[in-house]
Amino acid sequence: MNWIFLQVKNPITDVSSAGSYLPIAIQLIFAVLFIAAMMGLTHWLGPKRNTADKLENFASGIESHGDARQPMAIKYFLVAILFVLFDVEVIFFYPYAVNFRQLGWEGFFAVLMFVGFFLAGFFYIIKKGALNWED
Amino acid sequence: MLLAIDWLLLLEKLVLIVIIVSVSLVIAMYETYAERKIAAFMQDRRGPNRAGPFGLLQPLADGGKLFFKEEIIPNTSNKFLFILGPCLAMMTAMMTSAVIPWGGTVAVFGRSVSLQIADINIGILFVFGVVSMGVYGIMIGGWASNNKFSLLAALRGASQMISYELAMGLSLIALLMMTGSLRLSVIVDQQMTSGVWNVVYQPLGFLIFLVCAFAECNRTPFDLPEAENELNFGYHQEYSSMKLGFYLFAEYINMFISSVIMATLYFGGYDIPFVNEAALIAKGNNWIQWIGPLVLIIKVGFFIFLFMWVRWTIPRFRYDQLMNLGWKKLIPLALLNMVLTGALVLWLKK
């Protein structure tokens, strides 16, 4: 910690310093304490009259059948995997967007090529029917 | 070793944090009131009008009630995750306000105080990072309940949120090409000095961002995780007491924060329209800095009204329609917007 705070005059207001994240840490501690206090308070204030019927899973009044954690439609997992793939590609655009003016036309055409790759993958998953929700 | 820290500055930040978090909590509370009043207005009813004048104390009564409700943890659920879910949802909702510039620099007791908690240089990326943590709150809560409705709702919610995050990220890139910075304070400053809000340059980008914000906040017409006619109550169906309160609060805080983000990125943030603040401050009118946050709140109020207006106007999408809109329409549109923006900026500059 020492080197972070001694290098520059006021690290909290200096954007290039890691010290500028310090207020976020304070806010995190504040949020955690606030949530813990609230949870503790409601736990302490609320009535505790549990019965076996009350603690059962709610299924609109009918008896619940079996465990909920059964195999789910694969579509949801497919969407999750595709999100990871495409989000990584989107993240690559961010450094380009920030330095976009300095890179000029040359950088633009390079990124255009990357957009081409992005679209190739995109059309592939659409043609494969990965995003069709009705079989 | 710790002498190098400006303790007064830290104290100032702590006070600012307490004020901003409290304000966002109060606004979240009164959003529920506004929602009910606006719904009532649109359906030709009166809405809450018993607790206090015009029913203004209704949110306090609703909030207070949550403290005195019995906590129920279903016996088939995973107890630790069941409690962690709403806490995580609330925490992510409380963290996003840290990087938003709520105003310029104001003078308090002779100190010049910046109305931004942390002016970090990755500003908007921090917001995105924290917002995507919100998926865990929904997913953990829905899974830990061990209820079929909750689990299905959580799966729907999670895949909806991640799908729209893609288009949201892409629409933002076009804006970042214009600003060249991820710092929210710089983005607002640019709009203040030029006097032209970013929405003028990025109308399509704003529209995509707005639609994605609706989907990220699980608001109608994208409130599939809470489709009560199919899923009873959604992912928080087994919750009671303040744990349910946290989920609902987190949702309203997220709505507030996304309104603030839209106002900051596309509508000039705390910039007062048709007023040159820099010239007035140079003449010694420092009070103008206090007007900025109020102007921001007015802009945010408009967006919150828009959220509610849409909720009581447009019916819910089907799930396949929602996914088609997100993946097959918004993503290509956002990419097109990005490429067009890039080409136009480079062409007009050279």
pLDDT in tens, B208-223: 999 999 998 888 788 8
**Residue B25 falls inside a structural domain:** no
**Residue B3 falls inside a structural domain:** no
User: Does residue B235 contact residue B142 with C-beta atoms inside 8 Å?
Assistant: yes
Nearest to A31 among B13, B95, B121 (CB): B95
How close B273 gets to chain A, by Cα (Å)?
A: 27
User: Could you tell me the pLDDT band of residue A1, with boundaries at 50, 70 and 90?
Assistant: very low
Nearest residue on chain A to B1, alpha-carbon basis: A2
Size of interface A-B (CB pairs under 8 A): 229
pLDDT at res. A7: 46
Contact assignment for A87 to B162 by CB distance below 8 Å: yes
**Residue B29 falls inside a structural domain:** no
User: Mean pLDDT across chain A, nearest whole number?
Assistant: 83
Torsion of Cα atoms, B115 then B119 then B125 then B128, to 10°? -30
Q: Which domain holds residue B226?
A: 75-349
CA–CA distance, A115 with A107 (Å, rounded to integer):
12
SS3 letters across chain A: CHHHHHHCCCCCCCCCCHHHHHHHHHHHHHHHHHHHHHHHHHHHHCCCCCCCCCCCCCCCCCCCCCCCCCCCCHHHHHHHHHHHHHHHHHHHHHHHHHCHHHHHHHHHHHHHHHHHHHHHHHHHHHHCCCCCCCC
Nearest residue on chain B to A65, alpha-carbon basis: B148
pLDDT at res. A47: 86
* Structure tokens belonging to residue B168: 């949201």
How close A104 gets to chain B, by Cα (Å)?
A: 7
**Residue B332 falls inside a structural domain:** yes
Q: What percent of chain B has pLDDT over 70?
A: 98
Nearest residue on chain A to B325, alpha-carbon basis: A131
A105 contacts in chain B (CB < 8 Å): 346, 350
pLDDT in tens, A74-101: 888 888 899 988 888 888 888 888 888 8
Q: What percent of chain A has pLDDT over 90?
A: 14
pLDDT at res. B282: 79
Tally of structural domains, chain B: 1
pLDDT at res. B75: 83
**Residue B56 falls inside a structural domain:** no
Q: Which amino acid is at B84?
A: L
Q: What is the ipTM of this complex?
A: 0.88
User: Could you tell me the pLDDT band of residue A10, with boundaries at 50, 70 and 90?
Assistant: low
How close B324 gets to chain A, by Cα (Å)?
A: 8
pTM here?
0.90
**Residue B89 falls inside a structural domain:** yes
pLDDT at res. A2: 46
Contact assignment for B327 to A131 by CB distance below 8 Å: yes
Nearest to B17 among A23, A54, A55 (CB): A23
CA-to-CA separations, A80 to A85, B159, B161, B162, in angstroms, rounded: 9, 6, 10, 7
User: Could you give the angle at the alpha carbon of B92 between the alpha carbons of A59 and B186, nearest 5°?
Assistant: 145
Burial class (CB in 10 A: 0-12, 13-18, 19+), A53: exposed
Contact assignment for B232 to A35 by CB distance below 8 Å: no
**Residue B292 falls inside a structural domain:** yes
pLDDT at res. B22: 92
**Residue B222 falls inside a structural domain:** yes
**How is residue B85 annotated by DSSP?**
H
CA end-to-end span of chain A, whole Å? Answer: 57
Of A11-20, A79-88, A125-134, the range with the lowest mean pLDDT is A11-20
pLDDT at res. B230: 77
Q: Angle, nearest 10°, between helix axes B288-311 and B241-266?
A: 120
Strand partners, B105: B114
* pLDDT reading at A4 higher than 60: no
* Residues in chain B, pLDDT under 50: 1-2
CA–CA distance, B8 with B70 (Å, rounded to integer):
43
* pLDDT reading at A6 higher than 60: no
Quickly count: other Cβ atoms within 10 Å of residue B257's Cβ.
Answer: 26
Tell me which of A39, A96, A125 to substitute to probe the interface with B (most B C-beta atoms closer than 10 Å).
A39
* pLDDT reading at A5 higher than 60: no
User: Does residue B327 contact residue B201 with C-beta atoms inside 8 Å?
Assistant: no
Residue ranges and CATH numbers for the domains of chain A are: 18-127 (1.20.58)
pLDDT at res. B150: 87
